[in-house]
Amino acid sequence: MTKNVSLPERLDATILTSAPDLKRCPPIVSAEVAFAGRSNAGKSSVLNQLTGNRRTAKVSKTPGRTQLMNFFDVRSGGRLVDLPGYGYAKAGKEAQKNWQNAVNHYLSYRDALVGIVLVMDIRHPCQAFDEQMLDWAGASELPIRVLLNKADKLSFGAQKQTLSRLQQRYAKHSTASFQTFSAARGEGKAALIEHLLDWLRIPLEDPAAPQSKEPEG
C-alpha cells in the first residue's frame, strides 16, 4: 500500500436493484465486482462485514436464499454484485438451472465486470464448482480473489497451511490470488478492501491532503 494514504474501514454501499437475469440487470454506469460462492460459504456475511452493515445482504440459516443478482452502489464509485449461491442440493432442478444460467450469462457478457471475489469455506475449499470458476477466470484473464472464509474456525497454523497449499496448487492461475478471511471477526477485511478499491479504480485518501471547500453561493 502506498505511504501516506489510508484505507477506509468499510465500503459504504446501498442496494440498487435485483435482477433475475442478464436482460434485467441495471444499465452499466461503472465497474462491477461480482461475489460468488457456494450457498453455505458465508458470502452474504462477507458482504455485510465489508460494508459494516448487517442488513446489506440478507443472511439466512437456510442456504441458497440468494436467488437473484443483487446490485449495490458503492458511494465512492463502482458496484458490488451478489450472485446467487450455487450447490444448494435442496433447491429444485429448475431453480438451479435458472440460477446457473443467470450467473453464466452475467459472467460471460457483462462488460462492466472487472473482477470476481470467490468465497469458500476454508474447511472445504475448492470443490467442483469452485474449480470451474477458477478455470473460467483464468481462461478469461479476469482477476479473481479467493476468500478462504470462516478462518476463525481453524487454528492460525491450520489457516496458513491451507492457504499455502492452495497457493501452490493454483500457482499457474495467473489471475488468481488467495487470502484467509473471517466474516465473523473482520480478519482480512483491510486486504480485501484494498483489492476492491484497485479493481474499481477508487483512489485512496491522503489524510495529509488539504480538504476542498464547498464553493460559497
Cα(154)–Cα(159) distance, integer angstroms:
6
Of 188, 187, 163, 189, which is closest to residue 177 (Cα–Cα)?
Answer: 163
Q: What angle do CA 178, 181, 183 make, to 5 degrees?
A: 145
For residue 95, what pLDDT is reported? Answer: 67
Residues 6+ apart with CB under 8 A from 208: 4
Q: Indicate the pTM of the whole model.
A: 0.87
Helix (H) or strand (E) holding 115: strand 113-121
Residue 82, pLDDT score:
94
* pLDDT reported for residue 90: 57
The pLDDT tens digits of the residues spanning 55-74 come to: 676 654 544 455 789 999 99
Domains and CATH numbers, the chain: 13-199 (3.40.50.300)
pLDDT cut 70: percent of the chain above it? 82
Q: Which of 52-56, 91-95, 130-134 has the highest mean pLDDT?
A: 130-134
Parallel, antiparallel, or unpaired: how do β-strands 13-19 and 32-37 relate?
A: unpaired
Q: Mean pLDDT over all residues of the chain?
A: 86
pLDDT of residue 91: 58
195-211 average pLDDT score = 74
Single out the residue of 67, 86, 147, 77 nearest to residue 112, CA to CA. Answer: 77
d(CA 127, CA 120): 9
